Structures are given as C-alpha cells and as structure tokens.
Structure 1
Amino acid sequence: MSATEVPTDNGREIPGIAEFARTATRLHPRSGAPTARDSHIGGPLWWPADEPWPHCDGRLPTSTGKPQENWTAEHEVDGPIALVGAAQLFRRDFPALPFPEGTDVLQVLLCPNEHQLDSSGADYYYGPAAHLVWRASAEVTEVAGRPPQPAGVGGEFVPRPCVLNPCQVVEYPALSELPDEIKLPLSFVDTAGFVHDDYDRWPKVSQCSKVGGWAFWWQSSPGKLDCQDCGAGLRLLLSLHTYEHRDELCSCEQDELQPAGWEFGRQGALNIFTCPEDSTHAFRLHID
C-alpha cells in the first residue's frame, strides 16, 4: 500500500481526521485480453449459459441492486437494448468489496444509451444506466458464449478489454466533504467555510478507476447521498474514469491515458455509490 501523508493544519494535527481515511484500490487498467475467469474491465463475464442476458427497456437498473427512482431513458433505437459488460471483480482480487453473503464476484453492466434521473440538485444524473450483479462463481457450471451486441448505439460507454494491475492507496476527502466541526477550526478556512485562495496543500483525491476511496468532485460539489431503503449515507463502491491520471498517491506506471476508450460526461468518471449497511440496497450513480 502506498503511503499517503496525513492532512495537517499547517503542520498541526487535525483532531478527528484519521476517521476519514479510506483505502482505495486503484485498478490501473491496461489494454489486454482478459478471460471470463479474470477480474477486468470490458472483458467476457463469468455468466451462466442458462441465465438470460440482461437488456434495457428504459427502466434499468433491475434485479440485484435496486435502481435509483425516477429513471427515464432516451433510447434512439426501438426495443430493448442488450447491456455491455463494463467490469468484473472477483473477491480473491478485491476482498474489500462489500460482497453479500455467499457471493464472490461483482459484475457491472451498462446500457450504452443516455439515461437521466428526473430530479434536480445533487441527484441530477445524465449518462448510462447500470446493472449490478453480485454472483457466486461456483454456481456457474457452464459459461455463456458471446453475449448479444447492442445494435444502433455509439461506443461512448462501450469499453475495450483491459486487464487490471491493482494497488492500494489511502485517500482523504476533499475539504468540502468534511463536517463543519473539523473544517471550520482550520486556520486556512474562513468562518463561512471557504478555503483561502492561496492554500493548496490538502491531499488530492485520485482521478482514476478504483474500488472504494473517495469520489473526485470536479464539475459539481459533493452532495449528501442517502440510501433510499434505510437512510444510511452511501459510500463510493466503484469509480470508472474516462482517463487514468498519474499522481503522487502511487508510483505505478500507467502507460495508457485512456485504455478502456469510454468517456463519461466531460471526460469525467462514472461513480457508483452503494449502501454500507447492505450492498443490495438501491444504489446511486453520479458522473463528475
């Protein structure tokens, strides 16, 4: 695990900051040829031959992991659209994922059409719909062949196959995500909660595809995201980035800036937030 400097107030310890440290597993995707038995982005899924391949009719996501409420779709083609495999992550490679009991693989599929969430403020969303499957790999006795391909859609949300080279880093949230009782006493924060213009020493949140950690907020401000089933504050499950940025948080080489080839928003990230109490509760999506 790469070491990350603990934030300070100009060298002075910040009381309570340690509880906001989160471990993120950077995926470091690279172009490759993963198999259905591998953790990957954009490769074949460990999908049962006797299980129908999921399609989107504008009301996704469904099944395991309930959707955000009030989805609408803007499909440019008629009829259900076959989903595309976005990511597959096995417990053996990512044990920190909140696997429901009896499961050991997370599969993320996307509808390659634009969807939107009919609300405003922090909940506004415009991008691909997602479908999460938490699966017991041992129950798959025969793997499906090549899945159906979505017809009549662009490739904006369709990834190229990538192998993963994960490493772990420790992240702290952006200052705007800290509660007032920690943020307001800081010497570089004014009474209204704004950071002084000349302060630039707060640790950065990594901009990369990763499991866990904190979301990088670029075009919007952090909003409070609560579980619609139980009210718990949602946490970042997975971030899929348009670009794989290098930074000081780890020394791993990242040869390709855009290995998966997809693009979310204005060169941002598709963030999937799930309930820390039960990962099968309704999840939320946000692109930033």
Structure 2
Amino acid sequence: MLPVVQVFRRDAPGEWWPEGADVFQLLWCPNTHWDPPSPQADGSPVVEIRWRQAATLPPEPSQPPPPVRHEDDDYGFTPRPCLLAPVALTDFPYPRELPPSLQDEVHQLVKETGSDDEGGDIITRVAGSKFGGWPTWHLTEPCTMLCRECGAVMELLFTVASDATTGITVGRWGDLRVFSCPADIQHGYEFDVH
C-alpha cells in the first residue's frame, strides 16, 4: 500500500469527519486489480481508508516501499510526492439531478461562463481531489450507490483526481471516488474509477 493523500481536519472541515479523528489517510496498492474484493472497483487499485489522530502520527513519515510493478507514466496509480493547497469551493449536482425549475438556470450559467468545453463544466463538476461535493459523471449517466449495510443512498466522501500539477494519474486520466454511508461511516465504503 502506498500513501496517496493525507488531509488534516483543520484544512478540510466538514460533516464527513468521524468523532475523534483529525487526520484522513487514503492508501492504495498501485497496481491495477481486475478482480478486486468487494467493495473495490474493477480495473482500479485496492484502496484503504484510515481515520487517525494527529497526536498519534510519527514525527517523520516513513518511506513507502517501491511498487511491485510499475505502470506507464500516463496510465497507472503511482502517486508522486506533492503538497495540496486546500481551497474551499462549492460545486453542484449534475444538472439532471437538480429540480427541473433549476436546470435551465444552471445550463444558462454554464453557457454564460463559457465553461462547457468538451462536454464538461466547472460549475457542476468541480475537478480535482476533494472532500464531499458531487461526483463527476463525464463518462456515464449519473447512478446511485447504495449502502450494502442499510440501503441508504451513499454520498461522495473523497475524490482522487488525475492532475498534471500534482502528478497523480488515476487509470486513464480519471477519478477514483470514495462513497460513504450518511447513516453511519462504519458501514464501509464504495469505490469506483470514473
């Protein structure tokens, strides 16, 4: 498992933090797994989420082991060391998920901002690694993830996005998304690559 991202609560406050945790860590096996255990996504790394307390972290991070297999530079899951700058943003659901009365207004705003290039827009699909917000649906129609424990509609917890600035590549330049149950974070996660 390689460390991909570590976020402190002070840098990304929100309702997604479990009680007593102030550090979020996402690790993954950097190899593509075509038949991973559930709830992992086919054709993706196997992901592990850790919620920790900053006081229990070692003073110096340990050096992760090199991956067993290296993917091509433009395809794969080997992160490069970098720092992320937290920025508070608001994004909105995919327009078809909005009430009909708002859909026209959002489409007009997208048109006015000139952000509808190549089928994407920066208003309803804020790119980048992020806590919360709304998942992008640039490859498929929107779908609902259901909690395997209680059947609740899961919410986007975290996105690891391909990004030239950070050097992170997710598969074929996509996003790895982590969904969690709003009823109880202990119900586990659903992962997908989009």
Q: Sort the Cα spacing of 1:150 and 1:175 in 2 relative to 1 into closer, same or farther, 3 A.
A: same
8 Å contact kept, 1:86–1:110? yes
Q: 1:115, CA displacement in angstroms? A: 1.9
Counterpart among 95, 99, 106 of residue 175 in structure 1: 95
Gaps (5+ residues) in structure 1?
1-82, 189-198, 244-257
Computed over aligned residues only, the root mean square deviation of the Cα atoms, in angstroms, reads 2.6
Quick check: which one's helix share is greater?
2
Aligned AA (2:69): G
The C-alpha deviation readout for 1:106-159, integer Å capped at 9, x for no partner, is 1100111112468xxxx9642111100111222346656323322233362111
SS in 1 for 2:48: strand
Distance 1:233 1:173 in 2: 15
SS in 1 for 2:27: strand
Counterpart among 58, 72, 89 of residue 7 in structure 2: 89
Who is 2:176 aligned against?
270
Distance 1:265 1:176 in 2: 27
Quick check: which one's strand share is greater?
1
Aligned AA (2:7): L
Counterpart among 136, 142, 153 of residue 233 in structure 1: 153
1:139 aligns with 2:56: yes
Distance 1:171 1:273 in 2: 16
Matches within 5 A, 1:163-202: 163-178=83-98, 182-183=99-100, 201-202=109-110
Counterpart among 214, 224, 233 of residue 144 in structure 2: 224
Aligned AA (1:207): A
SS in 2 for 1:133: strand
Q: Sort the Cα spacing of 1:264 and 1:200 in 2 relative to 1 into closer, same or farther, 3 A.
A: farther
Who is 1:113 aligned against?
31
1:158 aligns with 2:78: yes
8 Å contact kept, 1:99–1:279? no
1:128 aligns with 2:45: yes
Gaps (5+ residues) in structure 2?
111-122
Q: Sort the Cα spacing of 1:212 and 1:283 in 2 relative to 1 into closer, same or farther, 3 A.
A: same
* TM-score w.r.t. length of structure 2: 0.77
Q: 1:86, CA displacement in angstroms? A: 0.3
The C-alpha deviation readout for 1:172-213, integer Å capped at 9, x for no partner, is 1112323xxx23x6786xxxxxxxxxx664543212221111
Aligned AA (2:14): A
- Farther off after superposition, 275-284 or 134-143: 134-143
Using CA pairs below 8 Å that are at least 6 residues apart, which structure has the higher relative contact order? 1
Aligned AA (2:8): F
SS in 2 for 1:86: strand
Distance 1:114 1:142 in 2: 32
Query: How many aligned positions are there?
Result: 174
Q: Sort the Cα spacing of 1:148 and 1:186 in 2 relative to 1 into closer, same or farther, 3 A.
A: closer
Q: Sort the Cα spacing of 1:130 and 1:267 in 2 relative to 1 into closer, same or farther, 3 A.
A: same
* TM-score w.r.t. length of structure 1: 0.54
Identity %: 33
